[in-house]
Structure 1
Amino acid sequence: METDSAADTQIPRKLQALLDRLNRPIQSAYENQGASSTQLDSFVSSQIVEALRSTVFPAHVEAELLVLRFLFQEQEGRSPKRLETARQVLGRLSTMALQQTSDSPSRESSPERRASTDHGDSRSAENRPVPSNRALHETDIRFAKGVGPKRALLLEKLGIRTIEDALWFLPWRYEDRSRIVSISQLVPEEKATIAGTIHQAGLRRTRRRNMTLFTMSVQDETGVVEVVFFNQPYLDGVLQNGLRVVLSGPVVRHRRGVGVQMRTPQYEVVDEDEDLLLHVGRIVPVYHETRGLSSRQLRRILWGLLETYGSDLEDPLPSRLLEQHRWPSLNEAIASLHFPVMGSDLSLLNDWQTPAHHRLAFEEGFLLQLALAFRQRMRQSASPGIAFRLSGSYTTPLQKHLPFQLTDAQQRVLAEIEADMRAARPMNRLLQGDVGSGKTIVALHAMLGACGDGYQAALMAPTEILAEQHMLTIRPYLDALDVSVAFLTGGTSPKERATALARIAAGHVQLIVGTHALLEQDVQFAKLGIVVVDEQHKFGVLQRGKLREKALYPDVLVMTATPIPRTLAMTIYGDLDVSVIDELPAGRQPIRTRVFRHNARSRAYELVRKEVHEGRQAYIVYPLVEESEKLDLEAVMQAAERLRSTEFVGMNVGIIHGRMKSDERAQIMNAFRAGDVHVLVATTVIEVGVDVPNATVMVIEHADRFGLAQLHQLRGRVG
């Protein structure tokens, strides 16, 4: 295997050998007054492609080679100045070969630049700007070549503020423009790329309403082709006569049966020949754009950035790992994705399946896991936690009051939680379990364990309804064990709130149930030992942290019913230990989900009537989103009135939504639990926490407006 220095000394020799093979046939064609043939075109193009594949030339050398290859592509076949231009390029390349023989190896020939040299720029390495000493993530993009203040504002719309942002702004797809086909050789039912000049462009009327056609004729040295765009009238001000364009798209037979036509191709306006090298004759990156900033302009900017800063990215992955997976370095990966090298697989690029894509995807997950693991390590080592004794003064008698036995899964998870609580470091655990799996009872054991050791416990829920549900569930056990409890939400009256706050601060309350109200500054705990957060995905990280800060490193248990695969949970909540209740209590019936089309709604309501006639209850759920909350609420109210007078005549139909006052909601829910309300029309306010065992059927209207997690939560409310 050649060393870097040995490879560098071979580059001038390989370049000179290539020039020796090309000089004679090109000179011969020039001396025969421009005589040329397809054999010469094929020979020159194949020689250059093979050289680029086998050797890593400096960027300015490869740029000249690409110019030469472009001159001998078929679409240039009859240009009278072609051979004269080719001789000039050969002359420049000969000079470069001589210079490289005497010069020391430049930065351009290093392996780190390998993937970024397949594009045109005539600047030599010596004339390039010197990279800034500032870190790339600190260097403002407006200072980059070709940007400036105005273009920086456009880049900011794409999320690009620094040099590093720009280098990581990867193409979202690629087009193969490595072979420009002459118009005379277009074949129907194939996709092709052509380059030519626009003639006779304009809008055409059609007989069909709401249909516009923009047509234009594009011409090269070999012929003319008609190009049609459907329902894109704005192109009349973009693609105008005389502009040079590159088009990539499907070729079809002309509707009149004579010749061919291109329909709705991808298009790009290009400048003079020196600008073509970034946009044709290669696999071309296509970026997300914004008004005033096209993919063509982004290519120019990124090419300049790669030339200046492309070797300055610090690779966080060890070389051993890269060698093991045969992944490119970070510099090579970024460069090869912006400007793929000759011979790259287009399908792999567009599917994000190249080694460079795999490497970047791994790096993202690797760094996330590293940061989470580091944060967990720091928390465990730097934060002295509470080492609970777990005397069992409350948890042992609790077992006698439970009308059921804990499942094996609940006992396993409880053992994991108790082991954390006994350790002298703060617990930070995620408890995951399906709706109805018994998470609340497990959390109650943990909280009573802390209360038995003289500490306070807090249970925070995202909604008042869920907080009320928790209170109703655990209150009988707390009363039986003589454990003092307080309930604190946004709907608590000022007098009750003041009394509760005083008792909590004085330590006269052992267990506190509430909502976001627990986060408010005036809530002070006397000796908080454990925090339980239900439906934790409804809270932000800062909100959970704010409750944790109300004590000196309390244990934290967060719960969720949203089904998360364990591998995904470790990615999202990598700083949490994960416990899963993967077993439902005995006797719980499986929930069946059925889909009804709009015209079969009556069948769904018939199922509801059947369940109600058999003594059970039902939910009818409507979507409610913030953007259209007022209209959605009106729709819910109207639906309830319509159902009372049509589908459910003679039944007590109730309604509940988040805009109701807390006492009104409590009154409706109490009536529903007591069986006085047969059908409850509701919004997603019942998504979490509402537990009415007699409610055995739920109809979800406009299910397409719910997320999968919401649908899963809702279906857990029945059965």
Structure 2
Amino acid sequence: MKFNDSIKNIKGIGPQKFKEFLKLNIENIEDLLYYFPRSYEDRTRINSLAESKDQDNSGFVVKVKKIYKDRFIKGKKLIITKALIEDENSIGEAIWFNKPFIKKSLIVGRNYYLYGKVKRNHNMIQIISPDYKLLDNLSFIEQGIIPIYKLTSKLYQKEFRKFINTALKETNSSIVDYLPLELREKYNLCDIKFAIKNIHFPKDYNSYKIAKERLIFDEFFLLQMALKLIKKNNIEKSKGYIFNKFSEVGEFIEKLPFKLTKAQSNVINEIIEDFKSGKPMNRLIQGDVGSGKTIIATIALLIASLNGYQGAMMAPTEILANQHYSSLSKLFQGFNINLCLLTGNMSQQQKKEIIKEISQGKINIVVGTHAIIQKNIQFYNLGLVITDEQHRFGVNQRALLSNKGDNPHIMIMTATPIPRTLAHILYGDLDISIIDELPPGRKPIGTYHISSNLENRLFGFVKEHINSGRQAYIICPLVEESNNIKAESVIELKKYLKNKYFTNEKIAIIHGRLNNNDKDLIMQQFKDGLIDILVSTTIIEVGINVPNANIMVIYNAERFGLAQLHQLRGRVGRGPFKSYCFLLSDNKNKITQERMKIITNTNNGFIIAENDLTLRGPGEILGIRQHGLPELKIGNIISDTEIIQKAKKVCEDVIKSKKFNSIEKHIEKKFLQEINNICLN
């Protein structure tokens, strides 16, 4: 039996059973063997009834003394089967629910091994729903450390373990370890056969640890290697444009009304080296809120234009595209650069004229939304593609834009802080530049966690600032009131605030259900100062720049992740005014209190991201980028950092040495479709 054989080849798995396996995404033998236990029961120890503890899962050797008549509870549709049991020192009861067939299986006077949860009911020791086996017929897979799997209601633990055991026996001779002995010995990793067997049926705890480490290693190693192969394929298959004219860049930087930070200068130098290399750049620029990513994009676009190539910058919303266009227009004054804006809201005639000029090469830089990737848009010589807030675009959308040119340089900007450990796993196919320094003079945002009983004082404070000419954001998690979720909604909150606190102020609402034209109009009015207070969902979390807004109030702050709270907070503090963020939450949960403490104590997005990963787990953050490769089944980005580092070192060894080509072939075969889908060039 081979890994890619159907599980239908296993005795006992017929058409109906196969349907249940499909619900668990198990179709072939490999799927089955890589469906890992969710927990284990230690059946290596035999306990006495007298010494057993309430609520413990324990194993016992007992004699069946008596089998009681089934008891029926009609209202609950419950059948209770009960047996009187004894060991050397005590008596007790074994109880099963809705399993009347059991009384036919048990034989009075015979010895059984029982394993189940202990319940001490007054003076009686009860074993609830135990597994049972005649002592003289105890099979291998029901002894020792027993795996417990997450199953559908029509699959049972015992039979599932039998199927696993059959698959292990049948495939033992066909399992070949892709990792050479040399690397396994160097990095103290066990053979894959040992790992698969002992993750399901560990000989002892140490064998389980060794097996688990190897399987966790495989997940991180294969993922990192696959991403590095994507990167390698992108580099080998294509030649990039060489940019070698940089003479006016220094002059441009000198004329800026501010001085670049050391971090910004370092990133610009990395981009210039990419431009000189002759290989297409694929670089992620990761910087905290307000770290100055836009000026780096501006300089990159300037270099493309100086070298005779077109540049395109795509933003996820029209308001952001307009914002970038306005910013670039001011910065490029005095330079012979023709800039245009292309968005979905433009008239057909406007679009037609712009598209014609793009195809003729009359326009040097295009700033726009998804309109840029429409089929009818052809660039004259696209040399640089920049996507802003990358996680709002899928890989396919990036590919569509890059395919508008002949292997253009690609730069991706994100203000979403991603812990370094996670970034190297998620973005192994990209080079990463990190702007870990804020421009001098940027004031930290005063952040305060307050309860709802201080609402009157809070909105009195907000009113004072609005009367002095400032503006405020008020964020809540819902669009409409919900019976299922205890949280504020945009629509109800606006009514409440208007009636109680802000009768004379101009209040507007914005949320994802509005059409794009209405959203852009509201945001433009807020930016122009026509709206005093904007009540919003998290739709405003990305990139909106309103320097006059200096107060952010977030209702039900416990409902947001730390990274998301930090992004929302970043909408204020963009002007010369002292800015504030108030987190409203009455939740007394310990983790909530800890999270509120973290975000009130620091404005550093990278510190916040590390804490968010620890407190909330990797699942949410992993959603930032759908890379198309398999999800982690056994590895944990939080607790397995040492194994991640080991996997990274082995990757480096494999890439440096040419004698491990078999590993690359194994990965290319395993992830061929995913790698082809992700390769942009």
Relative to the length of structure 2, the TM-score reads 0.75
Residue 593 of structure 1 aligns to a residue whose secondary structure is strand
User: In structure 1, what residue type is equivalent to 2:530?
Assistant: D
Match of residue 294, structure 1, among 149, 152, 156:
156
1:192 aligns with 2:46: no
Aligned counterpart in structure 2 of residue 153 of structure 1, from 11, 15, 19: 19
Question: Structure 2 CA distance, aligned partners of 1:387 and 1:300?
Answer: 61
2:205 aligned partner = 344
Answer yes or no: is the 8 Å Cα contact 1:201–1:239 preserved in 2.
no
- Report how far residue 611 of structure 1 moved: 3.1
Task: Determine if the alignment matches structure 1 residue 385 to structure 2 residue 247.
Answer: no
Change in Cα spacing, 1:326 to 1:422, as seen in structure 2 (3 Å) is closer
1:373 to 210, 217, 228: 228
Residue matched to 2:450:
596
Is 1:685 equivalent to 2:539 in the alignment? Answer: yes
1:679, CA displacement in angstroms?
1.1
SS in 1 for 2:358: helix
RMSD: 3.4
Does the CA contact (< 8 Å) of 1:620 and 1:682 recur in 2? yes
| 1:316 equivalent in alignment to 2:186 | no
Q: How far does the alpha carbon of each residue in 1:396-417 deviate from its partner, in whole angstroms, 9 at most, with x for none?
A: 4533552211111111111111
Give the CA deviation at 1:432.
Answer: 0.5
Secondary structure of residue in 1 paired with 2:332: helix
Distance 1:474 1:238 in 2: 77
Secondary structure of the structure 1 residue equivalent to 2:305: helix
Whether contact under 8 Å (1:653, 1:680) holds in the other structure is yes
Q: Match for 1:385: what amino acid?
A: G
Q: Which runs of 5+ in 2 are unaligned?
A: 107-111, 574-681
The answer to which of 285-294 and 585-594 deviates more is: 585-594
Give 1:434 shift: 0.4
> What is the SS of the residue equivalent to 2:449?
coil
State the alpha-carbon separation in 2 of the partners of residues 598 and 340 from structure 1.
53
Q: From the superposition, tell whether residues 679 and 543 of structure 1 become closer, same or farther in structure 2 (CA, over 3 Å).
A: same
The answer to whether the aligner puts 1:562 opposite 2:416 as a matched pair is yes
Return closer, same or farther for 1:694/1:312 CA change in 2, 3 Å cut-off.
same
Deviations 1:411-441 (A, max 9, x none): 1111111110111000011100001110011
Secondary structure of 1:595 counterpart: strand
Aligned to 2:109: none
Instruction: Give 3-state SS (helix, strand or coil) of 2:473's partner.
Output: strand
Distance 1:685 1:454, change over 3 A: same
Task: Give, in angstroms, the shift of residue 389 of structure 1.
Answer: 1.6
Residue of structure 2 in register with 1:178 after alignment:
44
Residues 628/550 of structure 1: CA separation in 2 closer, same or farther (3 Å cut): farther
Counterpart check, 1:305 vs 2:167:
yes
Find the structure with the greater CA-based Rg. Answer: 1
In structure 2, C-alpha distance between the alignment counterparts of 1:513 and 1:282, rounded to whole Å: 64
In the other structure, the counterpart of 1:362 is: 217
Asked if residue 164 in structure 1 is aligned to residue 30 in structure 2, the reply is yes
For the pair 1:225 / 2:92, whether they are aligned, the reply is: yes
Q: Is the 8 A contact 1:461 1:467 kept in 2?
A: yes
After TM superposition, give the deviation of residue 503 of structure 1 in Å.
1.7
Amino acid at match of 2:355: L
Q: Tell which deviates more after alignment, 596-605 or 359-368.
A: 596-605
* Most deviating of 407-416 and 593-602: 593-602
Match among 497, 503, 506 for residue 649 of structure 1: 503
2:294 aligns to what? 440
In the TM superposition, 1:657-672 aligns within 5 A as 657-672=511-526
Partner of residue 403, structure 1: 257
- CA change 1:276–1:626 in 2 (3 A) is farther
Distance in 1, matches of 2:81 and 2:396, equals 57
Equivalent residue, structure 2, for 1:619: 473
Q: Distance in 1 between matches of 2:398 and 2:52?
A: 63
2:109 is the counterpart of 1:254: no
TM-score, reference length from structure 1: 0.71
> Which residue does 1:277 correspond to in 2?
139
State whether residues 479 and 537 of structure 2, in contact with CA within 8 Å, keep that contact through their aligned partners in structure 1: no
Change (3 A) 1:284 1:477: same
Q: Deviations over 1:510-552 (max 9, x none)?
A: 1111222222211211110000011111111122112111111
Q: Does 1:422 align with 2:276?
A: yes
Partner of 1:332: 194
CA distance in 1, matches of 2:212, 2:178: 16
* Whole-angstrom distance in 1 between the partners of 2:419 and 2:175: 34
Asked if 1 retains the 8 angstrom alpha-carbon contact of 2:480 and 2:490, the reply is no
| 1:484 and 1:508 in contact (8 A); partners too | yes
Q: CA deviation at 1:558?
A: 0.5
How far apart are residue 650 of structure 1 and its match?
2.0
What is the CA deviation profile of residues 111-170 of structure 1, one whole-angstrom value per residue up to 9, with x for unaligned ones?
A: xxxxxxxxxxxxxxxxxxxx35xxx2x322222333233222211111111111111111
Query: Quick check: 1:270–1:279 contact (8 Å CA) kept in 2?
Result: no
In structure 1, list runs of 5 or more residues that go unmatched.
1-130, 230-234
Are the equivalent residues in 1 in contact too, given 2:80–2:100 (CA < 8 A)?
A: no
Are the aligned partners of 2:37 and 2:148 in contact in 1 as well (CA < 8 Å)? yes
Alignment of 1:572 with 2:426, yes or no, is yes
Equivalence map 1:508-519=2 (5 Å): 508-519=362-373
The structure showing larger relative contact order (alpha-carbon pairs under 8 Å, at least 6 residues apart) is: 2
Question: Is 2:450 the partner of 1:583?
Answer: no
Is the alpha carbon distance of 1:362 and 1:692 closer, same or farther for their aligned partners in structure 2, counting shifts above 3 Å?
Answer: same
1:518–1:532 CA distance, 2 compared to 1 (3 A): same
1:479, distance to aligned residue in structure 2 (A): 4.5
**CA shift digits 1:210-257 (9 cap, x unpaired):** x9998653433547534679xxxxx446886446697645545433xx
Q: Distance in 1 between matches of 2:486 and 2:325?
A: 30
Q: Secondary structure at the match of 2:446?
A: coil
Aligned residues: 563
Q: CA, structure 1 residues 189+142, in 2 after alignment: closer, same or farther (shift >3 Å)?
A: closer
**Partner deviation per Cα, 1:679-710 (whole Å, 9 max, x = no partner):** 11122221111011221221122334434432
Aligned 8 A contact 1:317 1:363 in 2 = no
**1:83-94 equivalences in 2 (<5 Å):** none
- Matched residue of 1:641: which SS? helix
Q: Which amino acid aligns with 2:32?
A: A
User: Per the alignment, do residues 172 and 189 of structure 1 end up closer, same or farther by CA in structure 2, a change over 3 Å counting?
Assistant: closer
Distance across 2 between alignment mates of 1:312 and 1:155: 23
Q: Which amino acid aligns with 2:6?
A: D
1:302 partner letter? I
Change (3 A) 1:479 1:597: same
In structure 2, the residue matched to 1:609 is: 463
Counterpart Cα distance in 1 of 2:214 and 2:481: 40
2:10 counterpart of 1:144: yes
Which moves more between the two structures, 195-204 or 544-553?
Answer: 195-204
> Residues of 1 paired with 2:27 and 2:421: CA distance?
33
User: What is the identity, as a one-letter code, of the residue corresponding to 2:235?
Assistant: Q
The answer on whether the counterparts of 1:195 and 1:220 sit within 8 Å (CA) in structure 2 is: no
Output one character per residue of 1:167-186: Cα deviation in whole Å (capped at 9) or x when no partner: 11111110012234464664
The structure-2 alpha-carbon separation of the partners of 1:402 and 1:184, relative to structure 1 and needing over 3 Å to count, comes to closer
Q: Distance in 1 between matches of 2:196 and 2:213?
A: 12
How far, CA to CA, are the matches of 2:72 and 2:445 in structure 1?
58
Distance in 2 between the 1:562 and 1:246 partners?
55
1:545 aligns with 2:406: no
Partner residue, 1:701: 555
User: Partners of 1:559 and 1:627 in 2: how far apart?
Assistant: 35
**Structure 1 counterpart of 2:576:** none
